[in-house]
Amino acid sequence: MLKFALKNMFVRRARMVLVTLSIVLSASVALLAFNISQQVNDGIISTAGYYDMIIGPAGSSTQLAMNTMFFTDEPLGTISYEYVEELQASGLTNAVVPFTMGDSYNGAKIVGTSPDYLDGKKLKSGDMFNEAFEAVVGSAVAERYGLELGDSMITSHGLTGTGHAHEGNPLTVVGILAKTGTAYDNVIFTACETVWAVHDHEHAEEEHIHEDEDDGHVHEEEDHSTGEADEPMSHAAAHSNVPDTHEEETYDEAAEDHDHSYGDVCAILIKSKSFNDYYKLMEVYGANASLLCINPSTVLREVLEQVDLSTQIVYILCAIILLMNIVVISVITLLNMYDAQKEIALMRLIGISMRRIGQLYLIQNGIIGLISTVLALILSHACLGLMGSFVASMGIVLNVTAIYPLEWAIMALVFVLSVLPTMVRILSMSRKDSLSV
């Protein structure tokens, strides 16, 4: 029976391919929509649970939450590091983690923070950063750029990788994170002191250049003075190296002073000791008009509601596509059955019962349904892989190997829908035909 079913499918291969494509496309869209929505929800829920407060500059609460927890969008601005020290000394917190961002490596964002920010994350190799210019890279960054322990990274100003290169301040890879399946895989982590040192060095260089330009402008004006000033001008020229030496000493002193000073941060992530402590902190810092205090779970729940609404719309569209494909499959099945009426009549005449004939066509459509659902699963996860690099820029990491139980239920439903029209048609034919063996 199976052999005959395969031969029958080969004879009608054009229609079989049409039915298969119809099922694959509709099922893959449904599987892809469900998988992405689940991974986004799981990622947001798992990330939002650790910290109960984020403090940053006044602005958008959603932007603050997404920037500090998923590394998307631009930071709102900066606030003084003194707030970090205040919170650490308050006795109301279990964790106070500074967060700053402003540089990148080939487009991979660099986050200045403390090792506490990576609490709970496992290292694939190496150690955690402890000093300035040491870095721990996410697994995807290490894989994408072939980074290994001990490698140097020339970072650039800005978050796009197209800014001024910090060639004089390379970062050294001291650790590589194990794959987390989250936005952490696409980021490089270093100490806040690294970010401050790089930007202070750059700022000092710019001031040094401007001072040299101003000094050169003064000398140029003296060159165009009258001959009576030639002798004083020569005297000034003889001492022209003295200000340069003084500027170098000033720059070196500024660099040394930076080792004992703090800069600004983009945000502060806090884990309070209790609900009462949380409300005390919210009361104190929430009253500051220059600050924005948010509960990340609350903000991300609002984001999830928007995602859920979008997901429901996608599900409705998928349901419409499935219904349309049921119609297409039913029409094609009916056409196949009408075309096979002579063949069925011949089989009945040679003694084959309608039950056996029904089994033949059920096997045939069952094979098509099974192949279609498997191909739909493969296609949906192939699309996840193709979308991975695109959605990574939005802080979303898609795990290609993640399969949820409901996906199997969707596949089973698609399989039943692919076989159901044949069962209905066979049943109606058996009732109308009185021949039996």
pTM for the model stands at: 0.63
Distance CA 200, CA 219 (A): 29
Q: Are residues 286 and 147 in the same domain?
A: yes
Q: Are residues 382 and 265 in the same domain?
A: no
Q: Are residues 268 and 318 in the same domain?
A: no
Distance CA 283, CA 16 (A): 67
Q: Are residues 205 and 192 in the same domain?
A: no
Beta strands at 267-272 and 108-113: parallel, antiparallel or unpaired: unpaired
Q: Are residues 107 and 137 in the same domain?
A: yes
What per-residue string of b and e applies to 186-221 under the rule 16 or more CB within 10 Å gives b? bbbbbbbbbbbbbbbbeebeeebeeeeeeeeeeeee
**Total count of residues recorded for the chain:** 437
Contacts of 321 (CB under 8 A, 6+ apart): 25, 26, 29, 30
Of 17, 19, 4, 138, nearest to 417 by C-alpha is: 19
Q: Is residue 222 part of a domain?
A: yes
Q: Is residue 241 part of a domain?
A: yes
10 exposure class (CB count in 10 Å sphere: 0-12, 13-18, 19+): exposed
Q: Are residues 221 and 349 in the same domain?
A: no
| Contact predicate 43/397, CB 8 Å | yes
Give how many domains the chain has, as a whole number. 3
Instruction: Look up residue 362 and give its amino acid.
Output: L
Q: Which domain holds residue 225?
A: 200-258
Q: Are residues 288 and 314 in the same domain?
A: no
Ranges of beta strands (E only) in 187-260 are: 188-191
Contacts of 122 (CB under 8 A, 6+ apart): 177, 178
3-state SS assignment for residue 165:
strand
Beta bridge partners of 114: none
Instruction: Look up residue 316 and give its amino acid.
Output: I
Per-residue pLDDT of the chain (437 residues), as tens digits, is: 666 667 666 766 777 787 788 788 878 887 887 787 777 777 666 666 678 899 999 999 989 988 888 888 788 889 999 999 999 999 999 999 999 987 888 888 999 999 999 988 899 999 999 988 999 999 989 999 999 999 999 888 766 656 667 677 889 999 999 988 778 888 999 999 988 888 665 544 444 444 444 555 444 444 444 444 344 333 333 333 333 434 334 334 434 444 445 688 999 999 999 899 999 999 999 899 999 999 888 887 777 776 666 667 767 777 777 777 677 767 766 676 676 667 777 776 777 676 777 777 778 778 888 888 899 899 988 888 777 666 665 556 677 788 888 888 888 888 887 777 777 767 776 665 544 44
Domain end point (choices 294, 312, 347): 294
Q: Is residue 437 part of a domain?
A: no
Q: Are residues 22 and 110 in the same domain?
A: no
| Contact predicate 103/166, CB 8 Å | yes
Q: Is residue 237 part of a domain?
A: yes
Q: Are residues 393 and 420 in the same domain?
A: yes
Q: Are residues 86 and 105 in the same domain?
A: yes
Q: Are residues 79 and 179 in the same domain?
A: yes
Q: Are residues 87 and 207 in the same domain?
A: no
